[in-house]
Amino acid sequence: MSEARIDVQVEHRNAPPADQSKHPNTCPKCGSHFRDDELAAALWVCGHCGHHFPMQARARIDWYTDPGSFVEEAAEVRSEDPLDFFDLRPYAERLAEAELNTGLGEAAVIGQATMDGHPVELSVMDFTFMGGSMGSAVGEKFSRACDSAIERGAPLVAVTSSGGARMQEGILSLMQLPKTVCAVEDLHDAHIPMFIVMAHPTTAGVLASFASLGDVTIAEPGALIAFTGPRVVQQTTREKLPEDFGLAEQNLRFGHLDAIVPRREQREHLVRLLRLFA
């Protein structure tokens, strides 16, 4: 039973393989197709059915923050390969490729900005960089965002999108759970609020650490939010899964979220919270 079990996943490989025949701008839910500029203008939300396409970290930061206010921090932090990890390809090669394809140094971008004039600290994950997986570099960047928030007395807005811990860093990736939890505890002690926005998917090691410790937690519609994903639960337990297993909507019903907020309304929602906590 335990043999087949997958606890923390990476790169979202547990999900059924994406339909390769479909163009990335084709809505997987209703089949509508969009031009790049149409999708960007709609914040990567399908205008017909409301499906939320993945949104890259930099685009989200642009959307949330006042123009020109974002100052990136810890941009130089990069992953190392402490285990010389080699599966079908070397980890070092995967990292280089991810950086080349995404233009990001790691799966999280952090920095300071203002939202409607309110100072905030941001930590935004990007699923396109190795499935948003959390290794030492992501753990360090999130922790530094906590410290920077404490130093400036600014609330922390953290957007999560991650398949879990980055397996290629072995036990060190698991240690990013307690590491980020300890950073949040320092934030709590300093009475700095943390608002979590869970984007699709927020699973495994990220859900089992800082993502679950927000003072206020909202999620995007349809986001998968689960410690163990549906495929692994199905395989290990042979249980029949409910229709909306692990989705934001189910999580709201069971009391794990404060609200589901469509992308278009998130900025206003966060600004309202910033006003209340100011």
| 197-236 residues near another protein, rule: CB under 8 A | 203-205, 207-213, 225-228, 232-233, 236
Contact letters (x/-) for another protein, 125-164, by CB under 8 A? ----------xxx-xx--x---------------------
- Phi, then psi, of 86 in degrees rounded to 5: -140, 110
Is 27 one of the binding residues for another protein (CB under 8 A)? no
Q: How far apart are the first and last CA of the chain?
A: 50
Number of residues that bind another protein (CB under 8 A): 75
Pick the closer one to another protein by CB: 73 or 169: 169
Looking up tokens 């949104």 gives 55
**Do strands 108-115 and 71-73 pair parallel, antiparallel, or not at all (unpaired)?**
antiparallel
Q: How many CB atoms lie within 10 A of CB 123?
A: 29
**Shortest distance, CB of residue 196 to another protein, whole angstroms?**
11
Is 6 one of the binding residues for another protein (CB under 8 A)? yes
Hey, what are 178's tokens? Answer: 């307690």
**Shortest distance, CB of residue 61 to another protein, whole angstroms?**
22
Pick the closer one to another protein by CB: 104 or 175: 175
Pick the closer one to another protein by CB: 116 or 186: 186
Give the amino acid at 50. G
- Phi, then psi, of 218 in degrees rounded to 5: -120, 160
| 177-196 residues near another protein, rule: CB under 8 A | 177-179, 181-186
H/E segment holding residue 145:
helix 136-152
Is 95 one of the binding residues for another protein (CB under 8 A)? no
Pick the closer one to another protein by CB: 47 or 230: 230
Rounded Cα distance, 217 and 211, in Å: 8
Is 17 one of the binding residues for another protein (CB under 8 A)? no
Hey, what are 167's tokens? Answer: 């397996």
Is 13 one of the binding residues for another protein (CB under 8 A)? yes
Q: Which of 40, 237, 272, 275 binds another protein (CB under 8 A)?
A: 237
Residue 277's closest CA among 187, 183, 152, 192? 192
